[in-house]
Homo-oligomer: A and B are copies of this chain.
């Protein structure tokens, strides 16, 4: 009577097929695959042979449904093309490539609402862990993270109040360090040029401001920002705006390296000597900063490591030994180069 539906799955082998072939129960196959230690050597070999012969691959959907837990890491980043986040994501992928965990990336487009929506979607899958960029979640997003029922790692930044765990560094300190370096190098009219101005950029700006105020040199007219997404082209344009506004500018701290590169190119074009007339400092230290002419001073951040570390912490939490240090500050490194060597 129980006429089985005609194999909806298109004939791929199931755990029952493997069990039959190996002459064992389905549950034993399941165990052999997930906890090999709990199955005798003999059966394990037999089962492995059957798996290989049939080309069996477990259905992750069925697995997730039965165990109420999907082997998925949910990752939320504001941009896929921004090299900074791409590096973090690469670190995550590399750390997870030999594990059974899959990765699901969500692109929030720097929008809190979008982040909230994606968390809702991700939550419906009962992910094994969540990695989210930034610490400025909306109240709704924060609630979703707190109730996710899985380890959560906030990355890119550190802050006082983690949902669960954190890996990053202080953007405020990074901004201050860059500005202080420009001051030490002898620059005085140091501008800040920033695009996008997401929360991290805001904090770099705050660091710059703190340094300038401490030196008694702060002037709001030194700041040139835009909410427009960052690009090299935009860097050039913003620098021209900044110069028009304040022709006596003798240095710039750029929000990021794209902007810094745009500034450098404009200096070339306008025959402005770097570092003599203008000092330039960037942020993130992309590969090209050390090769450009002149090479550009930048704050090196450890993006790839942020990704690998976040995964390591999440994995530890999943395994039941939550790391003692819930907030990991990976710091940054000021790379002094020709562009500020006055």
Contacts and interface: CB of A to CB of B under 8 A. Distances in A.
**Contact residues on A (Cβ < 8 Å of other chain), bracket:** 35 or more
Interface string A236-280: 100000000000000000000010011001101100000000000
Contacts of A126: 9-10, 59, 61
Contacts of A68: 8-10
Nearest to A233: B291
Given A65-B65, A107-B93, A125-B60, A265 B291 contact: yes
A120 interface: yes
How many copies are assembled?
2
Contacts of A266: 293
B58 A61 contact: no
Interface in A1-33: 8-10, 12
Contacts of A125: 59-61
Contacts of A86: 80-81, 86
A181 interface: no
A269 B293 contact: yes
Nearest to A270: B293
Nearest to A118: B97
A10 B233 contact: no
Contact of A121 (B12, B57, B83, B89): B57
A268 to B, nearest CB: 4
A258 B236 CA distance: 19
Contacts of A262: 288, 291
A138 interface: no
B57 A61 contact: no
Q: Which 5 A-B pairs have the closest CB atoms?
A: A268-B293, A232-B288, A8-B68, A57-B124, A61-B64
A149 B293 contact: no
Interface of A: 8-10, 12, 57-62, 64-65, 67-68, 70, 80-81, 83, 86-87, 89-90, 93, 97, 102-105, 107, 120-121, 123-126, 149, 231-233, 235-236, 258, 261-262, 265-266, 268-269, 287-288, 290-293
Given A59-B125, A90-B107, A93-B107, 9 more contacts: A12-B124, A59-B124, A59-B126, A61-B70, A62-B65, A80-B86, A232-B291, A261-B288, A262-B288
A287 B195 CA distance: 15
A8 B104 CA distance: 23
A13 B288 CA distance: 51
A134 B262 CA distance: 33
A242 to B, nearest CB: 16
A337 B216 CA distance: 45
Given A268-B293, A269-B293, A124 B288 contact: no
Contacts of A97: 107
Nearest to A102: B104
Contacts of A104: 102-104
Contacts of A57: 120-121, 123-124
A167 to B, nearest CB: 19
A84 B236 CA distance: 23
A266 B295 CA distance: 11
Contacts of A9: 68, 126
